[in-house]
Amino acid sequence: MKILVCISNVPDTTSKINFTDDDTKFDTNGVQFVINPNDEFGLTRAMWFKEKQGATVHVATVGEATTEPTIRKALAIGADEAIRVNAAPTDGYFVAQQLAEVIKSGGYDLIIAGRESIDYNGGMVPGMIAAMLDMNFVNTCISLEIEGENATAVREIDGGKEKIATSLPLIIGGQKGLVEESDLRIPNMRGIMMARQKKLNVVEAVGGTQATKDVKFERPAPKGAVKLVDSANIDELVNLLHNEAKVI
Amino acid sequence: MSVLVYTETEKGKFKKNAFEVASYANAVAQQLGTTVTAIAFGADNAEELGTYGVSKVLNVAEASLSDFNARAFALSIAQAVSSEEAKVVLLSSSTDSKFLAGILAGKLSAGYAPNVVAAPETTEPFIVKRTAFSNKGFAHTQIDTDIKIVGVSNNAFGVVENPTSADVAAFSPQINESDFSTKSVEVDKVVGKATIADADIVVSGGRGLKGPENWGLIEELAEVLGAATACSKPVSDLGWRPHSEHVGQTGKPVASNLYIAIGISGAIQHLAGVSASKVKVVINTDPEAPFFKAADYGIVGDAFEVVPELTEKLKEFKAQNA
Ligand SMILES: Cc1cc2nc3c(=O)[nH]c(=O)nc-3n(C[C@H](O)[C@H](O)[C@H](O)COP(=O)(O)OP(=O)(O)OC[C@H]3O[C@@H](n4cnc5c(N)ncnc54)[C@H](O)[C@@H]3O)c2cc1C
Ligand SMILES: Nc1ncnc2c1ncn2[C@@H]1O[C@H](COP(=O)(O)O)[C@@H](O)[C@H]1O
């Protein structure tokens, strides 16, 4: 089985979000970039398929040279090879077109992407790829088993979960649950050394169109001070929620 | 030309978000000087959408399309887009709508803007405001493709009545057997209880509650309020509560009217996923807990004392206001 894990390079979850150039660009100053958490769960599940079922695992990212530390980290965690499509990931549609090309030429059986990138929160790339390549697709995937050509997946739904039977080739949008938090791996020295020897193929973008662009950003309005209610006076909270906030 | 909105149903009845996206669709249609067509799968009272300004409903009656299937539904909606010559397609932010949105965008070669919080700022060019960076910012996103797909954030636009009479027509999409190659084999879902995705009120517990045996506190409070229950990430990592209740940046997003956080410190990753809620109440023993900075109302106190009393007071309040 040949697996491709799609990795988006995102600001660490603790990052402060600021904008520059008259609020038209995300300010990367001082921001630490990491593997998108949803993709890290997927990559860890891919390592399980590698170790238990002999799968080959490649990782791909669409991004400029600055994303290489993130992709090297994926190699250090244990991916066999990496592909970087050398282009700025301008929008979800453009990224999906680039990855669809990588998938077509690589002959992958299973594509593991994430439910969403935690930066722009698109949540669209895997679905778009599924449509472009007419592949089976399961989103918000929290469990995945493969046997031969058959796949059993569980997806989260509003208020519960749904078990799905499907087959390869398959693309998923994964998230926590695919593996547990405690299964995530921190690359060790050996992994980091080995990653230096592994192939990182840089390919040029295929044309592609950008469907959307963010023309301006804005930070949320600053929050007013909290109204504290004394714990001896809980009636007051009920009163405020009813008469002031009007939410009960 | 028209605006097409996908209105979700559950066992034949429209979900609350269906009326919200229909209301949004009506606002877009007015800006564009056109009308709203809805597509629904097996709606019992399709004409109900007229209340929110929908003038035509394509109701899919095929038995094979009675249960949600992302690919089959996306292809059906794509066919409705072409028969109606729709230029703008509206979806909700439910898990199902987000599942099919990418497929639909890929099929229609359309740009898609998710998590949109307001009616378009302009339609030429087409620009919408949406949340980004997990609620730590907003983006004004321009969609440049001929067909535009907009995912409307829960609870952001609201339900707006605009009564008209809706013509209901049967719609029979052409879907092949091979389009059902991902099959649902089992659904495990709480029934009769509000879910995090559509609840007006969410009551959430953190590590401050000490253990799963204390969750009765959260559940009783949620019950009085008709609220969904949720939790912080460590609580689900520890197995105190199911993963499906984990909210935050890497869990489910919450956009309720009221979010009550009990024994939750308010780490940045937690806040990122819940800050779209309109009113936040925090109950925490530690006056320095970061959550107080992001809250509207707070009580510094012990959950084990404050919550049972709050539950009692709310019961009295509900009894008086019933
Ligand atoms: C990559 C990444 C992603 C993450 N994603 C998420 C996410 O999506 N969602 C999320 O929630 N977290 C997430 N986290 C974890 C986050 O950083 C915090 O660790 C977590 O939110 C803390 O949970 P907590 O508030 O329940 O526990 P704690 O931080 O332990 O806080 C417990 C709180 O309870 C209070 N308390 C104690 N006793 C009582 C009492 N008797 N009555 C009232 N209050 C009491 C304490 O004062 C304290 O404030 C993520 C972390 C990382 C690194
Ligand atoms: N630039 C990128 N390079 C590789 N994969 C990406 C990129 N952007 C998004 N993806 C994948 O698509 C998923 C969903 O991303 P998005 O649609 O941007 O929210 C991510 O979790 C990744 O798996």
pLDDT value at A176 more than 90: yes
CA of B242 to the centre of ligand 1 (A): 16
**Along the 322 residues of chain B, how does pLDDT read in single tens digits?**
899 999 999 999 999 999 999 999 999 999 999 999 999 999 999 999 999 999 999 999 999 999 999 999 999 999 999 999 999 999 999 999 999 999 999 999 999 999 999 999 999 999 999 999 999 999 999 999 999 999 999 999 999 999 999 999 999 999 999 999 999 999 999 887 889 988 999 999 999 999 999 999 999 999 999 999 999 999 999 999 998 999 999 999 999 999 999 999 999 999 999 999 999 999 999 999 999 999 999 999 999 999 999 999 999 999 998 7
CB of B223 closer than 8 Å to CB of B201: no
Range of the domain at A51: 2-216
pLDDT in tens, A182-205: 999 999 999 999 999 999 999 999
Distance, in Å, from the CA atom of B81 to the CA atom of A23, rounded to the nearest integer, reads 35
B267 and B126, same structural domain? no
How many Cβ atoms sit within 10 Å of the Cβ of residue A181? Answer: 16
The residue length of chain B stands at 322
Ligand 2 centroid to residue A118 C-alpha, Å:
9
Nearest atom in ligand 2 to A117's CA: 19
B289 lines ligand 1 (CB under 6 A): yes
Q: B252 with B155, same domain?
A: no
The alpha-carbon gap from B302 to the nearest alpha carbon of chain A, in Å, equals 9
> Which residue bears the tokens 């809980």?
A234
Nearest CA in chain A to B108: A131
Contact A139, A155 (CB under 8 A): yes
B273 lines ligand 1 (CB under 6 A): yes
Cβ–Cβ < 8 Å for B157, B23:
yes
Closest to A109 in 3D by CA, of A171, A38, A31, A166: A171
**B185 occurs within a structural domain:** no
SS3 letters across B227-241: CEEEECHHHHHCCCC
Comparing alpha-carbon positions, the chain B residue that sits nearest to A242 is B317
Q: Is B175 in the same domain as B230?
A: no
Tell me whether residues B189 and A161 touch, CB distance under 8 A.
yes
Chain A CB within 8 Å of residue B238 CB:
no
Contact B249, B272 (CB under 8 A): yes
- Count Cβ atoms below 10 Å from residue B247 Cβ, excluding itself: 26
- DSSP 8-state code for residue A160: E
Closest to B300 (Cα-Cα) out of B288, B284, B311, B289: B284
Please calculate the CA angle B310-B239-A120 and round it to the nearest 5 degrees: 85
- B149 and B205 share a domain? no
Are residues A116 and A9 in contact, defined by beta-carbon separation less than 8 angstroms? Answer: no
**Alpha-carbon torsion, ordered B300, B306, B309, B311, to 10 deg:** 100
Residue A212 counted as domain residue: yes
Same domain? B219 vs B306: yes
Beta carbons within 10 angstroms of residue B13's beta carbon: 12
Written as one letter, the residue type at A15 is: S
3-class secondary-structure state, position B254 = coil
Beta pairing class for B126-132 and B9-10: unpaired
**Which residues form the domain of B233?**
201-320
pLDDT recorded at residue B5: 98
Residue B192 lies in a domain: no
Residues B216 and B128 reside in one and the same domain = no
A49 lies in a domain? yes
Please say whether the beta carbons of A91 and A210 come within 8 A. yes
A146 vs B: CB within 8 A: no
Q: How many CB atoms lie within 10 A of CB B237?
A: 17
Please count the residues of chain A: 248
* Backbone φ, ψ for residue A126 (5° rounding): -65, -40
Instruction: Give the span between the Cα atoms of A237 and B299, in whole angstroms.
Output: 9
Contacts of B8 (CB under 8 A, 6+ apart): B14, B15, B17, B18, B40, B92, B94, B96, B97
Which residues are CB-neighbours of B97 under 8 A, at least 6 positions away? B6, B8, B91, B151
Number of domains in chain B: 2
> Using 50, 70 and 90 to split pLDDT, how confident is the model at A223?
confident
Please report whether residue B166 resides in a domain: yes
Structure tokens at B20: 């919200």
> How far apart are the C-alpha atoms of B163 and B166, rounded to whole Å?
9
| pLDDT of A58 | 98
Do residue B9 and residue B145 come from a single domain?
yes
Residue A198 burial by Cβ neighbours in a 10 Å radius (0-12, 13-18, 19+): middle
Rounded distance, CA B194 to CA B67, Å?
A: 20
- The whole-angstrom distance between B168's CA and the closest CA on chain A is 28
Residue A130's H or E segment, with its range, is: helix A125-133
Question: Is any ligand 2 atom within 6 A of the Cβ of residue A4?
Answer: no
Tokens 């997990």, located at residue: B134
This prediction has a pTM of 0.96
Asked if the structure places residue B287 within a domain, the reply is yes
Spatial separation of the C-alpha atoms in residues A227 and A229, rounded to whole Å: 7
The 10s digit of each residue's pLDDT in A117-153 is: 999 999 999 999 999 999 999 999 999 999 999 999 9
Q: Which ligand is nearest to the CA of B270?
A: 1
Q: Report d(CA B208, CA B204) in Å as an integer.
A: 11
Q: Which of B277, B283, B285 to mutate to test the pocket of ligand 1 (most atoms within 8 A of CB)?
A: B285
Out of B243, B295, B309, whose CB is closest to A142? B243
Give this complex's ipTM.
0.96
Closest-approaching ligand to the CA atom of A123: 2
Ligand 1 centroid to residue A246 C-alpha, Å: 28
**Dist CA A74 CA A81 (whole Å):** 9
Largest Cα–Cα separation, chain B: 60
* Tokens, residue B193: 């209880």
Does the beta carbon of A223 lie under 8 angstroms from any beta carbon of chain B? yes
Q: Per the structure, how many domains does chain A have?
A: 1
Identify which of B65, B22, B28 has the alpha carbon closest to the alpha carbon of residue B47: B22
Phi and psi at residue B73, to the nearest 5°? -70, -40
Atom of ligand 1 nearest to the CA of A13: 1
End-to-end CA distance of chain B: 46
Q: For ligand 2, say whether the CB of A122 is within 6 Å of any of its atoms.
A: yes
Q: Looking at ligand 1, which residue's alpha carbon is closest to its atom 37? A: B208
E strand segments, A123-169 = 136-147, 150-157, 160-167
Same structural domain for residues B168 and B294? Answer: no
Q: Which of B146, B180, B214 is the last residue of a domain?
A: B180
pLDDT on residue B194: 87
Would A231 be classed as within a structural domain?
A: no
> Within this chain, do residues B155 and B281 fall inside the same structural domain, yes or no?
no
Residue ranges with strand state E in B119-212: 122-123, 126-132, 137-143, 148-152, 167-171, 183-189, 201-205
Domain membership of residue B245 (yes or no) is: yes
Q: How far is CA B305 from the centre of its chain?
A: 33
- Cβ–ligand 2 contact at A74 (below 6 Å): no
Contacts of A26 in chain B (CB under 8 A): 133
Q: Which of residues 154-173 of A touch B (CB under 8 A)?
A: 155-167
CATH of the domain at B103: 3.40.50.620
- C-alpha–C-alpha distance, residues B117 and B130, integer Å: 5
Q: Are residues B137 and B229 in the same domain?
A: no
CATH of residue A136's domain is 3.40.50.620
In a domain, A235, yes or no: no
Q: How much is the pLDDT for A240?
A: 98
Q: SS3 helix, strand, coil % of chain B, rounded to 5?
A: 35, 30, 35
Contact check, Cβ <8 Å, A119/B133: yes
Is A248 a member of any domain?
Answer: no
B68 and B217 fall within a common domain: no
